[in-house]
Each structure stands twice: as C-alpha cells, then as structure tokens.
Structure 1
C-alpha cells in the first residue's frame, strides 16, 4: 500500500525551507514552519474533538489565513475536507453538510450566520475559526506529523455547482491532488521557489485550491491572499508585495485590464493563468496589451482535480485554445451521442471532451449511477464540446447543455460571444437560447455595456448580423448592469435563461 497525504505539501516545506515566507494576508505574514506548526496544533484540536481518519470536516471561509491553516489541519488529522461555497444559501449549505455526512463544520465568523444555522438544522457541530479554534488549538497536544493515509484515500469532496439539479460531491484522493499540484507547478507552468502568487481565486473552489494554494506551495513559493477581489486593490497589492504570478477567471482579467488604465504602477507579471470559463480572445488581447504579460489559458473541472489541459511554455501558446493535456493526462474528443462507450474522433472533429489520467476523481459520493454515467471505459465524460487540432491544441466550443438549437442548427454561444466582445460598447456578454415558437430556440445576447457608452439593442443586432452567420446572430439583445456570477465567478446561464425565457 502506497501512503501519501496532501499535508506533505506543507510538511515538506516546513522541513526544507522553514523560514521562508509562505503566506501573506493583510498584516499576517507566516513562514512555512509557522503555518505547519499552526496546522498541527489545530489537527490536534480536531483529534481531541473526536475527528477520526476518513471523517469529513466541512470548511467555510473566505481567502483569509485561516483557510489554508484549517485545510492542512484537516488533512493532517487524516480527515477529508469538504469546502463550502460562500455564496450558498442556508438550505444549500444544509444539503452539502448532510450529503457529505460531515462530522464538523469549521466556519469563519463572516459566514457564521448561514453556516451555523445550516449546521444546527442538520445536527452538525460547529467550531468558529479565529478565537474559538485558536483556543482549542492552544489547549490541545499538536500532532507530531500528519496521520498516515493511503494514496487512494479521499482527501477532498468538492460539490459541483450542479448545472443539472442537486449538487453532487466529487471525491478526490490524496494522489489526485498531490499529482495535480506537482504537475501544475513543474510540468505545465514553470513555478519557481522565489515566485510570489496572488491568491484571489476562492480557495473553496478547485481551481484556487489546486493552482493557487497547493501548486504554489508545492514549488515552495509564497502565496499572498486577497479576501475579496477588487481589481484596483489587486493591482495595488501585487505592486506592494512584488507579486509576479496571477491566477484568475475571465471576469477578473476583464476587470484588471480596465483598472490598469487608472493605475499609476502595474505589477511585473511573469506567469498568468486563466481558467474556470472560456477566455474570449478579445479579453486576452486587452489584458496582454495592458500588462505586457502572456496569459496561459487552461481547462479543468472539479472531477479532474481540476487541471486537465493548459497552454504550456513547452508547446507554445495558441489564443482561443486551452493548450495541451497536462503531463500524464490524456484529453481527447469522443462522439457525444454515444453514451455507453467511448468512441474517439479524428483531429478537427467536434465532439465531447473526455479525460483520463492521474487527475480523474474516484466518483460522486454515494451516487453510483451518476458515477457510472460519468466514468466510461476508463475516461471521464466532461459534458463539454470541443475539438483537437493537428498540433494537439484543444479548443472548448461550449457546454453540451448550453448549445442553442435554432431551427435545427446548432449555435455555440461561445463563438457568438467572441464576436460580440469586439464591439467597442460591449464590456461583457452572455449568449443564451430562449424558447421560440417558430425556431424552437432563439439566440439572445445579454449585454453589459462598457462604462460611459450608450448602445441600442437594434444597433447590436445589425452589427452582429454583418459578422455572424444567418442562424447565429442574436435576434434579441437584452441590456443589463451585471451578469449573475456563481461562486467560482462563472456566468450563471441557467439564471439568465430563467430570467429572459418568458419575456
């Protein structure tokens, strides 16, 4: 039996570079030795509270220093982390606690109202991060090291935001997470120990957790946390702390490119990684022009730890693609209509993106049917549509369920969005299908205008008609102040569909 623990990521740094700054958040600055010492003390407190190896412990906290400390404390105690999205309502938090069978909730004071009420409703113990957890840690015997775990034992259960009904818990092993962090740090990106990364992505989300926290620390680099993302504040903090690495989602890159116009000094960025949703090429160009730094766009899902493919220096960068698969991972295109087996397609053909490798999860917690549907012939079916070109670059075309079928023709919202974002008066756009008596579905663009511009819907329709195929251009344009974003900063298209379906 091979043993392995995510906690080793922190423990090894404490051994190899104890005095190096690991974590910065506001006035808090901690070395690797200090973070590990805090994590071991809190792991001791968890054990004294009756937490046993394999028990699930929920963690609900923003990007403050308490998050990584609690995360590694849970791992060190041999328990399983269940991160809770901060934007969930009380009933949604209840579902996560109940479905995961959590023994305990570690909750930040800022989330105490929702977290405590949900925990009380399902009979789960709560410990508040900060004073209460610190006191328990001070009274406990710190663990000498982390508890032994099998490499295939569960380490984290991520609740997928559930575009299809109830959120499901994707179970990731210690092996999944340690490999994903290692390969992300040393094979996909060139992460160096003297790098300083900004942790602006939510750490409760797979992207922030693996790419910002675990892979930064796997390389022995420093993580600077930003509890609430604000572009001007992010630029200021990056300059002040000498940050050279930024990981973000497209909405963050949009905001940074806009804020750069007002900033007096910009950070010197060496590594920029985008994921979480498709990055429109126009946004990439705007950001790169402002910061003079290349963005490496990647792709992944909670079920793939999450990184599956990324534009990597070794293969070169191709804007509009998510690059090549990570080391040790295969990403291919399979026939989307064939459900019961995997039938791989030739380069250039459109189909469903499928993934196999060390990053693929063990399954959905307590849901064997859903697991069997997702894991077929050793491949994970992502539900995304894409192509792979002759050079091996993967392009994500759209979610299978976001495709608009207008008059029998498939329209891929992402393609329409890419074109619309070139309109000077459009800051953000989401394209959805709305019910239509004649065509089944009609293409609808929901537009956030650029500041200081005034744009009429019919003008956008006319403009896009000249640039898009007859079945593709939006016949309907809705103007709004902001697009609804999920906890991982993705645009919630299901909310937009519900909002504009009847109109």
Structure 2
C-alpha cells in the first residue's frame, strides 16, 4: 500500500499538486479512494471529499468555495464533474476501477511533507440543511487522535480485518473507520455498493473480525436471506455503528444472529466522527450512545451557555482534540458554533449520573405539540421495537389547534401488514398520550442519504397532511 501511495503522490506532484492545495475528490468507496486520499495527505494537500451523486451545480459550489486546484472523478460517473469543470482553469483526472492494480510494490518511500499537526488535512462539507454547505476543516491532529482513540476502544490491532460498505467521502468512513484501521495496522476490506448479502459474503470470505455501518445496514443484514452458515461468522466480534440512533432491539437481534456486539456512538463531521461510544465491556444502557471517548469532554448547556445539572435536557457540547479547527472561510459560523471551549452540536441531550449520554433529538426536529415537547427520537425508538417495522421516522406537521401535530412515517418488513389504527393502539401503553403520533403514513421506503441515514427533510409533509391516516385524538394535548 505504501508503494502505491508513493507512486500516486509522485503523479499528483507532477500534476502540480503541492502543500496547501485543495483537491476535489468525487470518488466512490474503493481502493482507489484510499490510495489517492493518503497520497494527498502525504503531500500536505487537502482532499475535499464529496458525494459522487452530487449535481453539477453542487460540485461547482464546492470547487469555488474551497478554491480547488484539481478535480478527481470516477470514470463511471464523471459527467457531473466534467460539466462543473467545463470552462474553468481546473484540470480533471478521471480514475477507473483497478487503475492502480499494476503499480509496483517495491517503490522506496518518498520524503513526506512536514506539516503542522493543525494543518488542514481534509475539508468536509456539511449537508447544508439550514443554508449553503459549510466546509469543516479537519486537521491531521483531529484524524490521528480520533483514529487512535477509536482503535483502542474497539481493541483492534494488526490481527484484525475490518470492513465497511460506508461511503468513504463521509466523516464516518474517514475519521471513525479508515483512520482507526490504519492507526491500528489492521487490514481493510471495502464493499461497494452496499448489498446485505454481499456484505455477509465478504464477512465470511475475508474472515472479517470487525464491521462498520449504520442502523439501516444492520437491519438489512438482519432480514437478508443467505446460505451462509452461522459458523462462517464466528470470527466477527465487533461492529461499530453511527450516523443515526441505533435501535436497541436491532442490536440485540444482530448479536443473536451473527454473534457480534454492535457498539454505537455519537459524533459529527465537525468532531471527526467522534464524541461518545458504548464500550465493549462497559455497562450498556438502553437509549444511551455511551460515554465520552477518552480525552473528550461532553457537557449539556442551556441557551446561555451554562452547564445544566445531571438529567436535564439541553444542547450537547463537546470539547477535545477531535473538534474541527474551523469552518472554511466562515469566521462568523465558526464563532457561532462555539461557546468558550465547547463546540455546540445542535443536538439536544442529557447526561446521567454515570456519564452516559442520551441524544434526545436535533434541536430543529423538536416537535412542540400544544406546549408539550415531543422528541421524535424517543418515539422512533419505541416504533423500532415493533417486529413489523423496518424503517420509521417521526416528524412534526402544522396543526391549527396545537401548533404542531406528531406524525409517523414507516415501512414494514417484507410480508408484514400493519394498519395505522393497530400501530397507534400498540403504542398506547408504551408512550405518554401526548407523544403518540396522530398521523400515520406507510411507505415502501423512507428517503435516505449516502450513509443510509433517514433524511427527514425528504419526507413530504404536505402528503402527510393530505393522504396520511389520522387516528382519533382527544380534545386536550395530553389525551
């Protein structure tokens, strides 16, 4: 691997790439992504990694905002990048699968560029749900710290073979997975595209000891039909999960079928994907995303930035070596995201007496129904415990009487049937009455992003209001 990275770094240097350059990478999960990414880091250049499904207009924005000097795209999906670079003084390198397979393995290591630990290593753009995407500047220190601490938490080493079908352009794939794999000296298998049977085949054939994914992936594997025997998964000991809430029932079922313990955690692009984790031998608490990673601090703050007592809900704030340096060229946004030493996550949560963190919800997802706060994540956790539900999302929709009403959109497992009235009755003894959704809509599948995370902004609220099934409700918010 080192020889290939050295050879590719030489190629990049001949293409004019130097220290401090930003290079657009529009590549899928692949060996080529891994090689080019690390070659750029060795030159002191900064990869700008974006989703290969982006439209030309989006790619143009990334090129302009980051000030890229080179664009690299995939031969199977290069049209959008070619369109975005047309008419610009910006060279384009189109890479194909297997392009580096024939590179020699005996190239002596090149001299690495000496950069400060706080030098920009990678530029990751946020989703931009509340405006134009902002580029989170992650440093070499961020990546090294996160890779080291996660590899120690997962207890991985050179004996391990880790695998993932996650998109590597995302922070989870880079910070939590790739950085930890190479920090520990483990082997790495990448799978593309995600297919539950293909992933299970890879686990068996590559003898994977670890696997990383998001809840939708674990659920798909649970329901996958495979001829693989249980003993073929015997070496799989750990699975790391992130990107969204991990339903407790899904984790239990995965452990029962495949023998691996799913360790979920919490992090953001701005924290290199790190923040909290459930430890392999630690006390697991239902609904908790674990405790702060070693070397990391978590606090719950009120709107004025004051720390709240144990058990009270407020904004989750993080501090430690995994927090980004800044938002690229956005000093105002950088300042707004900080309160003293703390990075403000935009998530609502609480901490218990043992330091276990519970993410209640995104601040923007909070539903206020008749003056009562309803946290969608809490309701979703209960929905996922229903054996017929495969996907679920809870959102707020406008209501003339209560301000907002609680709505649930769900997809069922193959062969199952679940009527809205039946589901509401099932929820009746599991949630306070004001938290129970009154609007229901069954769909074939919920909209998801590249990581498999359900995208609530993709749910059509108008459709919910016009065609969703409204169940009976009483005349008070609590009924």
Same fold (TM over 0.5): yes
Residue equivalent to 2:476: none
Task: Report what 1:278 is aligned to.
Answer: 245
- Within 5 A, what are the aligned runs for 1:93-108? 93-108=59-74
Choose from 266, 269, 281 the match for 1:299.
Answer: 266
Q: 8 Å contact 2:196–2:221 — kept in the other structure?
A: yes
Question: Does residue 448 in structure 1 map to residue 415 in structure 2?
Answer: no
Q: 1:287 to 1:97 in 2, by over 3 A?
A: same
Query: What secondary structure sits across from 2:435 in the alignment?
Result: coil
Q: 1:122 to 1:91 in 2, by over 3 A?
A: farther
**Rounded Cα–Cα distance in structure 1 between residues aligned with 2:225 and 2:308:** 43
Seen in structure 2, the aligned counterparts of structure 1 residues 254 and 431 have a Cα distance that, compared at 3 Å, is: same
SS of residue paired to 1:370: helix
Q: Which residue of 2 aligns with 1:71?
A: 37
How far is the alpha carbon of 1:110 from its aligned partner?
A: 2.1
In structure 2, relative to structure 1, the CA distance for the partners of 1:444 and 1:363 (3 Å cut) is: same
Counterpart Cα distance in 1 of 2:96 and 2:372: 55
Question: Which residues of structure 2 form unaligned runs of 5+?
Answer: 467-479
Q: 2:215 aligns with which of 241, 250, 259?
A: 250
Q: C-alpha separation between the residues in 1 aligned to 2:66 and 2:227?
A: 45
1:471 aligns with 2:437: no
- Please point out which of 74, 92, 95 is paired with 1:129: 95
Is 326-335 or 287-296 further displaced after alignment?
Answer: 287-296
Change (3 A) 1:121 1:277: farther
Q: Which of residues 405, 418, 442 in structure 1 aligns to 2:381?
A: 418
Give the structure 2 partner of residue 330 of structure 1. Answer: 297
Work out whether 1:289 is the aligned partner of 2:256.
Answer: yes
CA contact (8 A) 2:56 2:83 kept: yes
Does structure 2 conserve the Cα–Cα contact (< 8 Å) formed by 1:196 and 1:222?
yes
* Counterpart in the other structure of 2:470: none
Shift of 1:199: 2.1
Match of 1:399 among 358, 362, 374: 362
Work out the CA distance in 1 between the residues paired with 2:108 and 2:260.
Answer: 43
- Once the 2 structures are TM-superposed, how far is the Cα of residue 497 of structure 1 from its aligned partner? 4.8
Partner of 2:205: 240
Q: Contact 2:441–2:464 (CA<8 Å) still a contact in 1?
A: no
| Gap regions ≥5 residues in structure 1 | 1-34
Kept after mapping to 2: 8 A contact 1:232/1:263: no
Offset at residue 78 of structure 1 (A): 1.2
Q: Does 1:309 align with 2:272?
A: no
| Residue 318 to residue 466, structure 1, CA distance change in 2 (3 Å) | closer
TM-score in terms of structure 2 length: 0.92
CA 1:172–1:60: 2 relative to 1, 3 Å: same
Number of matched pairs: 462
Q: Does residue 218 in structure 1 map to residue 157 in structure 2?
A: no
Aligned to 2:111: 145
| Offset of residue 73 of structure 1 | 0.9
For the residue of structure 2 that corresponds to 1:487, the secondary structure is: coil
1:81 matched to which residue of 2? 47
- How far is 1:124 from its partner? 2.7
Q: Secondary structure at the match of 1:471?
A: helix
Q: For residues 132 and 46 of structure 2, what CA distance do their matches in structure 1 show?
A: 21
Among 439, 449, 457, which residue is 2:420 paired with? Answer: 457
CA contact (8 A) 2:301 2:307 kept: yes
Q: Which residue in 2 is equivalent to 1:346?
A: 309
Task: Please report the RMSD computed on the Cα atoms of aligned residues, expressed in angstroms.
Answer: 2.1
Shift of 1:152: 0.8
**Contact 1:443 / 1:474 at 8 angstroms: preserved in 2?**
yes
Cα shift readout 1:424-457 (whole Å, capped 9, x = no counterpart): 3221111111111111111110010121012222
CA 210–468 in structure 1, closer or farther in 2 if over 3 Å, else same: same
The structural deviation recorded for 1:346 is: 1.3
Match of 2:159 in 1: 194
Question: Is residue 316–residue 346 contact of structure 2 (8 Å, CA) maintained in 1?
Answer: yes
Going from structure 1 to structure 2, the CA distance change for 1:181 and 1:209 (only over 3 Å counts) comes to same
Q: Which residue of 2 aligns with 1:364?
A: 327
Alignment CA distance shift 1:82-1:108 (3 Å): same
Residues 197-256 of structure 1, C-alpha deviation per residue, up to 9 Å, x if partnerless?
Answer: 112111111111122211111111100110111111110111011001011111011111
Instruction: Tell me whether 286-295 or 241-250 shows the greater mean CA deviation.
Output: 286-295
2:44–2:113: 8 Å Cα contact kept in structure 1?
A: yes
Q: Which deviates more from structure 2 when the two are superposed, residues 462-471 or residues 215-224?
A: 462-471
The reply on whether 1:118 has 2:84 as its aligned counterpart is: yes
